[in-house]
């Protein structure tokens, strides 16, 4: 595990910001690392407001999109809301459907089946729309590369509006509008919206067109926050505003469909809860059954229906967990059997692996063999694969170098999907290994923990913790600050804890007393620390609740014993 310090801001800038805000130099450093350089920027950062959102009409194609929807409203065209089967896609469909349903007599939702149709716009979906007399499809979290499918729809008299956040190809589909900030000709000031975020910008534009009050948008913010958290997009700029407001909505007035999961938390929801508790359950519907189950849950009109839908999805999630555990074990065995543990990349395949969980399996394999990973399974006549990457390595570029060995691919820097013909598998494995081997750096070949600042134990105070908590919501590009603390010593109470003594409960000596900490998976270090060995650690600040008492503690991410 590499420990890597983030760049330290210039001393003068740190001192000036600390003085302007009345905070410690350490907190000023944390803000400067996040691009906060002035009092006004800090005020916007700590107090996100709906007024901070950009004008949606700055997005290329927005005027054309709302004009077509307005025409559809006047003509009462049949409308279809079309989305992907993951959390971003299902929340997008729920958002757009619930916003437009009061304005249209004929509106339906459609999500392709992961197994029979695959990702994105499908011929089957278009045929279904044509059979129902649909005149306009609004596609969310997909479609930016669907040139042929959009042309096919056009031949059947169906228009498309595309709301996507994936990288476009060299050409765009012949849609009425393609809303995607990553378009080279789009000057929208924020490029990192997720699919649901772009859907939100479309309803924001419609709210302006129809002169509806700004508060009209509030009930949809919980969906946007869930999508932002689940899709692992940067929580900066407009995403930060949308996520922060969405968390408030989740805590105060969550939609019925989310309440069964939020009630399990027994505390106010955070981004971490959305990522690890809510999102996997929403995703499970599309992985193990059909994603329209998730849309139905999110659109629940009352708690009774929400409870029934949530119970069904809980069963899907339990099935998903047992399936991905089995496939992960099989994939690790395959790596061992093929003596591929020293390769630059992992590519594994079995025809009976469940397509719905191979992305999760790819992430689990990286925990064991830290390198870019492709997990493939049979899907009809082709092989379908999920790709995951390691810190700093652009797997999309690596795939682009292998494009002659695939039918198609798409995605992001750290996650992608692909399909290939069976006779392309060996050529792809060789080309992907070569592409990774050529492009990956030594630093990218082992896990990295970045830390924000080096502090002393005596600087850990409740006030610092309270201010850091106000920097939430945390996520990519605004992670909870990680601190390095050197030369720690046991105060006499450090011990291994947990059923198998796997974890470490630390008691650290400070000048004013004892500070506790928890280090998961580090129980084996207890005896050395008890003997008086000094050590350095990386940690975040946390709270521990025990016997109705709340106290400050360190949540330890890594420990280095001194020789």
> What are the structural domains of the chain?
56-218 (3.90.1640.30), 338-445 (3.10.310.30), 452-561 (2.40.50.460)
Strands 177-179 and 159-163: parallel
Q: What is the pLDDT of residue 550?
A: 82
Beta strands in 100-244 (DSSP E): 107-110, 134-140, 159-163, 177-179
User: How far is CA 394 from its chain centroid?
Assistant: 17
Q: What is the largest CA-CA distance in the chain?
A: 80
Burial class (CB in 10 A: 0-12, 13-18, 19+), 25: middle
Section 47-76 average pLDDT: 97
Answer whether residue 185 shows pLDDT above 80. Answer: yes
pLDDT at 543: 87
pLDDT (average), residues 399-424: 93
Q: What is the DSSP letter of 16?
A: H
pLDDT at position 411 is 81
544, 457 contact by CB (below 8 A): no
With 0-12 CB in 10 A as exposed, 13-18 as middle and 19+ as buried, what is 301? exposed
CA distances (Å), origin 291, targets 127, 282, 321? 19, 8, 17
In this structure, what DSSP letter does residue 215 have? G
Mean pLDDT within 40-66: 96
Residue 147 reports pLDDT greater than 90:
yes
Mean pLDDT rounded to a whole number for the chain:
95
Which residues are CB-contacts of 337 (< 8 A; sequence separation ≥ 6)?
none
- Give the tens place of pLDDT for each residue, 318-331: 999 999 999 999 99
Band (546; pLDDT cuts 50, 70, 90):
confident
Q: Which residues are bridge partners to 373 per DSSP?
A: 346, 388
Q: Which residue has the tokens 């059997």?
A: 337
Q: What is the pLDDT of residue 93?
A: 98
Cα 402 to Cα 168, 366, 433, 474: the distances in Å are 18, 21, 10, 35
Mean pLDDT, residues 383-397 taken together: 95
Cα atoms in the Cβ-side hemisphere of radius 13 Å centred on 508: 26
Q: Show Cβ contacts of residue 318 under 8 Å, excluding neighbours closer than 6 positions.
A: none
Q: Which residues of 78-115 are buried (b: 16+ CB within 10 A; e: fewer)?
A: bbbbbbbbbbbbbbbbbbbbbbbeeebeebbbbbbbbe
Cα–Cα distances in angstroms (integers) from residue 45 to residues 41, 83, 521, in the given order? 6, 32, 35
Residue 1: predicted pLDDT: 84
Q: Is the CB of residue 69 less than 8 Å from the CB of residue 161?
A: yes
Percent of all residues in the chain with a pLDDT value above 70, rounded to a whole number: 100
**Rounded Cα gap, residues 148 and 171, in angstroms:** 11
Rg (CA), the chain: 25
How would residue 341 be classed by pLDDT, with cut points 50, 70 and 90? confident
CA distance 472 to 288: 33
**Over residues 166-181, mean pLDDT:** 95
Each residue's pLDDT tens digit, 513-524: 899 999 999 999
- Res 49: pLDDT: 94
**What pLDDT does residue 116 have?**
85
Separation of alpha carbons 109 and 138, rounded Å: 10
Q: In the prediction, which pLDDT does 84 show?
A: 93
User: What is the structure's pLDDT at 76?
Assistant: 95
What pTM does this model have?
0.90
Q: Can you say whether residue 255 is alpha, beta or left, with left for phi > 0 and alpha for psi between -120 and 50 degrees?
A: beta
Kindly list the distances between the CA atom of residue 100 and the CA atoms of 80, 165, 225, in Å, as whole numbers in the listed order.
10, 21, 20
232 — pLDDT class (breaks 50, 70, 90): confident
Band of pLDDT at residue 202, cut at 50, 70 and 90:
very high
Residue 213 burial by CB count (10 A; 0-12/13-18/19+): exposed, middle or buried? exposed
242 contacts: CB under 8 Å, gap ≥ 6? 53, 197, 200, 221, 224, 225, 228
pLDDT at 289: 85
Mean pLDDT confidence for 506-534: 94
Which residues have C-beta within 8 Å of that of residue 502, sequence separation ≥ 6?
A: 496, 520, 521, 523
Residue 434's pLDDT is 97
Query: Predicted confidence band at 418 (pLDDT cuts at 50, 70, 90)?
Result: very high
User: What are 281-302's pLDDT values in tens digits?
Assistant: 999 998 888 999 999 999 999 9
How sure is the predictor about 168, in pLDDT bands with cuts at 50, 70 and 90?
very high
Q: Give percent above pLDDT 90 in the chain.
A: 90
Q: What pLDDT shows up at residue 342?
A: 81
């Amino acid at each position: 595990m590499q420990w890597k310090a983030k760049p330290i801001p210039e001393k003068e800038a740190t001192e000036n910001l600390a003085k302007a805000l009345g905070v410690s130099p350490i907190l000023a450093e944390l803000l400067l690392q996040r691009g906060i350089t002035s009092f006004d920027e800090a005020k916007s950062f700590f107090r996100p407001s709906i007024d901070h959102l950009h004008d949606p009409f700055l997005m290329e194609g927005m005027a054309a999109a709302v004009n077509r929807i307005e025409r559809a409203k006047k003509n009462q065209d049949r409308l279809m809301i079309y989305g992907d089967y993951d959390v971003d896609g299902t929340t997008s469909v729920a958002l757009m459907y619930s916003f437009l349903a009061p304005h249209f007599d004929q509106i339906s939702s459609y999500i392709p089946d992961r197994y029979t149709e695959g990702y994105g716009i499908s011929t089957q979906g278009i045929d279904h729309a044509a059979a129902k007399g649909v005149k306009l499809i609004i596609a969310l979290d997909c479609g930016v590369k669907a040139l042929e499918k959009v042309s096919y729809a056009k031949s059947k008299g169906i228009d498309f509006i595309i709301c996507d956040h994936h990288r476009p190809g060299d050409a765009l589909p012949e849609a009425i509008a393609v809303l995607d900030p990553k378009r080279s000709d789009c000057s929208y000031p924020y490029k990192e919206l997720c699919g649901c975020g772009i859907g939100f910008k479309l309803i924001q534009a419609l709210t302006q067109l129809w002169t509806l009050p700004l508060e009209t948008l509030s009930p949809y913010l919980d969906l946007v926050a869930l999508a932002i958290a689940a899709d692992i997009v940067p929580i900066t700029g407009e995403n930060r505003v949308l996520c922060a407001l969405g968390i408030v909505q989740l805590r105060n007035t969550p939609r019925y469909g989310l309440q069964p999961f939020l009630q399990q938390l027994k505390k106010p929801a955070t981004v971490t809860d959305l990522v690890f508790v809510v999102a996997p359950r929403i995703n499970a519907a599309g992985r193990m059954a059909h994603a329209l189950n998730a849309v139905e849950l999110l659109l629940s009109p009352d708690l009774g229906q929400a409870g029934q839908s949530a119970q069904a999805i809980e069963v899907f999630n339990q099935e998903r967990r047992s399936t991905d555990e089995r496939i992960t074990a099989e994939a690790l065995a395959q790596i061992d059997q093929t003596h591929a543990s020293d390769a630059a990349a992992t590519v594994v395949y079995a025809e009976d692996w469940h397509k719905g969980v191979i992305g999760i399996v790819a992430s689990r394999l990286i925990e064991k063999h830290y390198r870019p990973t492709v997990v493939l399974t049979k899907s009809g006549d082709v092989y379908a694969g999920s790709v995951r990457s390691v810190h700093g390595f652009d797997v999309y570029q690596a795939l682009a170098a292998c494009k002659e060995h695939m039918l198609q691919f798409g995605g992001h820097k750290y996650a992608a999907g692909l399909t290939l013909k069976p006779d392309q598998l060996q050529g792809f494995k060789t080309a992907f290994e070569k592409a990774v081997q050529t492009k990956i750096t030594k630093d990218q070949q082992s896990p990295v923990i970045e830390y924000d600042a080096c502090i002393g134990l005596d600087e850990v105070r409740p006030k610092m913790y309270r201010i850091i908590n106000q920097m939430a919501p945390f996520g990519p590009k605004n992670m909870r600050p990680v601190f390095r603390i050197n030369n720690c010593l046991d105060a006499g109470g450090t011990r291994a804890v947990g059923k198998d003594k796997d974890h470490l409960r630390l008691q650290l000596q400070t000048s004013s007393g004892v500070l506790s900490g928890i280090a998961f998976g580090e129980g084996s270090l207890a005896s050395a620390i008890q003997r008086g060995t000094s050590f350095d650690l990386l940690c975040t600040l946390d709270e521990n609740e025990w016997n109705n008492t709340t106290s400050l503690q360190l949540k330890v991410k890594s420990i280095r014993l001194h020789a």
